[in-house]
Amino acid sequence: MRYIAVFLVLANFAYFGWDRYRPNLSNVSLAGESRPLLNNGLMLVSEFNLQTEALQTASAQCYLAGNFPSIDEAKYFMFMAESMGLNPQLNLTGEPLESHYRVYIPPLSSRAVAMVRLDGLAESIANAGLQLETHLVTRGVLENAIALEVYAGLGRAAAARDQLAELGYAAEIEEIPQFTGDIQVQLRPQASPQIETAEWLELTVDQPYLTATENLCETIAQGAQFP
């Protein structure tokens, strides 16, 4: 019995020592070479939205409307297109020429007020013996403005503006760029991938001669200082 008791005590000490100093298998496994995530295609929502927007922009469909007889007609078309959310941009083709200039009194609050101002201006011009032609702008960005003729040079436009100032009317000068090629407008629909027939008919009700061709959206070079 004595030897059995001693053997059991020694065995307990031996087991205790082995259990205390044996290698920690779990630590060795964790310290090993790191393994990549099984799903390495995770993407943040913001990154996904940016990539989607980039793809849509790259393949966005635009329409090129033309050809306009004058920049005034193109400006009116752009005014209508913008109100319909079509993001218009002016496209002037060919080589640049010397700009023209328009002298005008800024838009007034209503058609009635503009007509009264136009009559008073016409009377003042006649009494001063000046040779200035005036008319009322009836549509577009300058609706209800009073405009003079378009001048081929900045000097003539400035002289006409100064003559109006002597009569008590404050006028402004608008530069109108000129090019040798066609006058077009690029349209980029925002609410839908294409322009609906009803939208196009509404847009061209005053300009039925216009046509539209589909093309991929491009960066449009606009005329210098064109508003």
Domain ranges across the chain = 63-216
Least Cα distance to 122 among 159, 162, 169 occurs for 169
Query: Does the structure show a pLDDT above 50 at 38?
Result: no
DSSP 3-state of 138: coil
Query: Which pLDDT score, from 0 to 100, does residue 179 have?
Result: 95
Query: Which pLDDT score, from 0 to 100, does residue 125 have?
Result: 96
User: Token pair 């008073």 is at which residue?
Assistant: 120
- In this prediction the pTM is 0.65
**The tokens of 88 are what?**
């218009």
Q: Which is more confidently placed, 206 or 8?
A: 206
When pLDDT is cut at 50, 70 and 90, the band that residue 227 belongs to is: very low
Encode pLDDT of 39-71 as tens digits. Answer: 445 556 566 556 555 544 445 678 999 999 999
Rounded Cα distance, 175 and 227, in Å:
9
Q: Are 164 and 217 in contact (CB under 8 A)?
A: no
Mean local confidence (pLDDT), 200-213: 92
